[in-house]
Structure 1
Amino acid sequence: MTAKCSELLAHRATVVADWADRMPLRDVYIFGDHAGADVGAGAKLKIAIEYSSDASDEMMRGWQRENSTDFAGLRQALGTQIALYADQDYDVWPPIRNAVRAPLLTIRKVRVVQTPAI
């Protein structure tokens, strides 16, 4: 991974971590075969989330606002489109679970993991 990709990846992980701290989320994963370092035109940054069971009412209201705008604030802050995976039935979870043992980067509750192309 080039220095430029590493900087972009760290920036995106920090943006997602800052966002996730305000949301009712336990764990957040940026994942993919390039783990979001070089999402090009037309590609989406892949983000998988796991909900927290002890979220405050304020966090839940924040989540509802974000959800109602299709996460426009997060997309704008990241400067790219996102694909958000929340349902545990998605086939993205087994590769994430395998890759989380050796994350590329961890910032608070956000882990960046490299998975095969999904």
Structure 2
Amino acid sequence: MSRYRTVLKKCYITEEQNEIVNNLIEMTNHLSFSSYARKMLFKSSPIYLQFDFESYHDFIFQVRRIINNLRQLERIAEQSEDFDNERIFHYCVELMIGYEKKTSKQVKELVKRLNKKTR
């Protein structure tokens, strides 16, 4: 392919779309929109992936609410000197924290792998 380019292509996008494109450019380590667009448009097999981060963030928010509720129940059990329930709630809190960390790590690794496939 020649380095001399004579045809200019333009399109209008929304602010939200512009933010998404800028994030994609940054994640794929391209220096400009032009180089990113050429790379993505002229691959032998273009890949388009979209990950719904809003649903993921809502999910993590709900997990954290569950953790807070379990901590409150643990405190109540501690104050009432119900040591068996206190241990159970403490164990549940630790399990949920571990689940949240593991899930976050897996999502980050997935996004990283998907980004490598789109380069």
RCO higher in 1 or 2 (8 Å CA, sep ≥ 6)?
A: 1
Q: Which structure shows the higher helix fraction? A: 2
TM-score (norm 2): 0.24
Determine which structure has more spread, i.e. the larger CA radius of gyration.
2
If the length of structure 1 is used for normalisation, what is the TM-score? 0.24
More strand as a share of residues: 1
